[in-house]
Amino acid sequence: MSIRLVIESVVFVYPDGTRALDGVDLEIGPGELVAIVGQNGSGKSTLVRHLNGLLRPTEGRVLIDGRDAAHFHVAQLAAQVGLAFQNPDRQIFAGRVRAEVAFGPRNLRLRGATLERAVDEALDAVGLTGAADANSYDLGYSRRKLLAIASVLAMRTPVVVLDEPTTGQDARGVARVRSIVERLSAEGRTVITISHDMRFVAETSRRVVVMRAGRIVLDGTPAEVFAQPNWPALASTYLEPTLPARVGARLELGSTPTEASLVAALAARAARAAQEG
């Protein structure tokens, strides 16, 4: 059920001449859990829109399990890659919440009890079961974002892409998104999230891809990417390492220290200071 995604020397130029992707090479293996980060306008959304055929490369290729995505119809790609849009209002169109979530899986030819179950599970995952009969547009922004995510979950695609799922969410919403990501990943699906929340990224991803001006500038585990030597590169795309990464570096614990190791190191420091003082 898992598939390999390969983005090969992709350049994308919007009709107005904006060169949003300037030669991107990226390979994402089956079941990877990846975060894409970078300043506003660095090309993150443009990149992921290539994965489900919403955009086609100006130059280069996108390979889905070794086959050029150019040979797939959008409907075929939609069965492989589910993308929850950054702006939910570009995705939501149906009247009722339930109908909205059912739209995708119905297009994938799910019917009857299977369809109902897919919709129920997706609504439950995002906490919108109680709003199933509400009108989509009566939901507040953060719940419309969750609705957009549910619409993608219901399609049960091998690859799930969430474009800024935590935007507008309070702590409870962020925790919900995090548990959705963890569950999808535990099921062996490929999960790609875009986020400006470095704590969310450090805590939920196993790989971080950093973009700047339409290119990938860093790619590695959170520990590698948030390590001190990369701080200038991160700063160049307006990213700040997480507080644990900064404190961890000072305490020589690396860039992804556990809370327990931080507490222990600070206690040891305090004890040393007391002895010396």
Ligand X SMILES: Nc1ncnc2c1ncn2[C@@H]1O[C@H](COP(=O)(O)OP(=O)(O)OP(=O)(O)O)[C@@H](O)[C@H]1O
Q: Which of 52, 86, 195, 255 binds ligand X (CB under 6 A)?
A: 86
The CA–CA distances, whole Å, from 57 to 3, 9, 54, 85, 266 equal: 20, 9, 10, 19, 50
* Nearest distance from C-beta of residue 5 to ligand X, angstroms: 17
* Measured distance CA(107)–CA(113) in Å, rounded: 15
Q: Of the listed pieces 43-51, 133-141, 179-187, 252-260, which binds Mg ion according to CB under 5 A?
A: 43-51
Q: Which two tokens stand for residue 127?
A: 């906490």
Stretch that binds Mg ion, among 13-21, 36-44, 89-97, 102-110 (CB under 5 A): 36-44
Minimal distance, residue 18 CB to Mg ion, in Å: 13
Residue 86 interacts with Mg ion (CB under 5 A): yes or no: yes
Contact between 151 and ligand X per CB under 6 A: no
Side chain identity at 7, as an amino acid letter? I
Provide, rounded to whole angstroms, the least separation between the CB of residue 65 and Mg ion: 26
For 107, residues 6+ apart whose C-beta sits below 8 A from its C-beta are: 75, 78
Question: Looking at 24, 34, 35, 45, which residue binds ligand X (CB under 6 A)?
Answer: 45
Residue 178: HSE in the Cβ half-sphere, 13 Å Cα cutoff: 16
Question: Are 129 and 120 within 8 A, CB to CB?
Answer: yes
Q: Which of 14, 93, 137, 141 binds ligand X (CB under 6 A)?
A: 14
Stretch of 43-51, 201-209, 235-243, 257-265 lying at the interface with ligand X (CB under 6 A): 43-51
Tell me how far apart the alpha carbons of residues 172 and 168 are, in angstroms, rounded to a whole number.
11
248 binds, among ligand X, Mg ion, none (CB under 5 to 8 A by kind): none
Select the binding partner of residue 20 from ligand X, Mg ion, none (C-beta < 5 to 8 A, by kind).
Answer: ligand X
Q: Decide: is 41 part of the binding site for ligand X (CB under 6 A).
A: yes
Residue 195, interface with Mg ion (CB under 5 A)? no
Give the helix ranges, DSSP H, for the chain: 44-49, 74-80, 97-107, 112-126, 141-153, 171-186, 198-204, 222-225, 231-236, 243-250, 259-276
Sites of contact with Mg ion (CB under 5 A) = 44-45, 86
Return residues touching ligand X (CB under 6 A): 14, 16, 18, 20, 38, 40-46, 86
